[in-house]
Structures are given as structure tokens and as C-alpha cells.
Amino acid sequence: MEKANIEQLQLFENQAIRTAWDEENEEWYFAIVDVVGILTDSIDYDAARNYWKVTKHRLAEEGNELVTNCNQLKLKSPKDGKRYKTDVANTEQLFRIIQSIPSKKAEPFKLWLAQVGREHIEETMDPELIAERLIVTYERKGYTREWINQRLQAISARKELTDEWKDRGITASKEYAILTDELTKAWSGMTTRQYKTHKGLKKESLRDNMSTTELVLNMLAETATKDISHTSKPERFEQHVSVAKKGGRIAGNARRELEEELGHSIITSQNAMQLNHVVEVMLEASAEASEKKNDKDSR
């Protein structure tokens, strides 16, 4: 099976399942070990993998063609973030696997599977639904409305930039990573990996752990890079690198000017959990102050 076009984490009861959308066949493929882990309440990834290994062997001995027909994709491991060949199944195959695993979550999971398939069809017909579902997801995680709005704009800016790169001949994921690193380093002074380390992140999304100001500057860097690329029309990869540096420097200049005005760095080591905690504390303090004012006015 060729590599699917779009990889995505889907959530079932707040537990992540690695999935990939195959554009050619128009269907989702699910990491079987992730599903097995949820159905069996396995405490860790290795336990789920061992359970699937035993189940797979049993099904093969029974002559079940399901095991033979299962495909493999190189997906990121939840343990170390590296890509490994992983058994995947489409929706129909997954229904049959669920039947072979005794679990109280089987029926809720079947309903969830049907919903995932329906949602993708709906989103294809109405892309605004994607944004609506993203908003709900971020709200559940505790992000503020201001941050969510900025994050959605940043997603759009990133998509415009990657489309520009694609139109100019950039296709390899390694090239995308190099250009992103050059752009990020030019405005923040750090590569993407260094930035994530600064925030104490491993596999988590860097943008999901940026403050609103960091998001704005990163978006400025990406938008500037896209606009410069569109105007200068780079052809060789070295020219793309130069453009990425120029776009990043524009945002870097804005960062330094803002920091000079504020008297401190706007690049924070806080991640999403800490940033959201600060928001919660501010909201609690505001609510407490409001409550005290109301008590005083009522006397």
C-alpha cells in the first residue's frame, strides 16, 4: 500500500488513535494497535502491541483472511516519535477486528467509527465544519477564544505557505522540515527542535504550545515567506532557503522591536498546560474580584 495522503490523530474518549486518509481510495486507515489498546484498556503501548500480536497470530491460525489483507503504513510511534511500519485497517476491517476482541467499549467504538467516516464526507462538502470541530476540540482543552481564533488563522497561513512551496517544486518532507527550521530560526533564534526543547516538549505540536504573540509572529514569518516566494519565484532549493530566511527575519525584526518596547522576551518557555493554567488563574481572580464587588454593592 502506498503512503496515505493525510495523517491525523483522532480522539475516542480523549484517547488518541493514529489515522491516515487515503485520497485515492477515499477511506480512513486506523492504527490497529491504538484501537486494541483502547478496547482492552491496555496500560501502555507495549501491552497493546503484544495483545495485537497474539490476536493476529490466533486469527492467522484460524485461517482468517483479515490478517492477510491488513496493510501497513509508516506512522509515528507514540513512544519515540520515529516512523515505523504499523498494521493498519480500514473501517470494514476494523469492525471485524473489534468482533474478535471482547470489550465493553466495542459498541461505543463502532458508533464512533461510523461518525468518523461521516464527518470526513461532511467536511469535504463543507470545509467550515473542520474549523467548527477544531474550535470545539481546543475549547475542551482549555484554550481561550482569542488563542483559538489566532490558531485557526495560523493554520490557514501555514497551508498557504506549504501550497506555495508545493507549487514551486518542494515535495519531500525533509525539505519542508529544513525550510521550516530556517524560517523559525530566523525569527525566534531557535530551530523547531530547539524551540520545542525550550518549552519542554517532545512529540507535541509546537504551535499548539505557543502563546498568542508567538503564534502571531510565526504567522507573520510564514506569510512573509509565502509572499516573497510568490514574487521572486525561487526554482532551486537553495533559493527557497534564502526566501525562508528573509521571511523569518521580517518577523524577527518585529519581535526585537516589540521586546525592546516591553523590556522582556516574548518567547516563553511555558507550554500549553502552563499557559492555560495562567488563563484559568486570571479568570478565577477576575471572578473573585467581581464577586467581592457584587457583595460590596449589595450591602
Domain residue ranges of the chain, discontinuous segments joined by +: 6-125, 144-288
Confidence of residue 159 (pLDDT cuts 50, 70, 90): confident
pLDDT above 60 (res 44): yes
Q: Which of 4-13, 78-87, 172-181, 196-205 has the lowest mean pLDDT?
A: 4-13
**Over pLDDT 90: what percentage of the chain?**
36
Chain mean position to CA 124: 19
290 has pLDDT over 60: no
Average pLDDT estimate for 62-84 = 81
Confidence class for position 128, pLDDT limits 50, 70, 90: low
Structure confidence at residue 12 (pLDDT): 85
Rounded mean pLDDT of the chain?
82
pTM of the model: 0.55
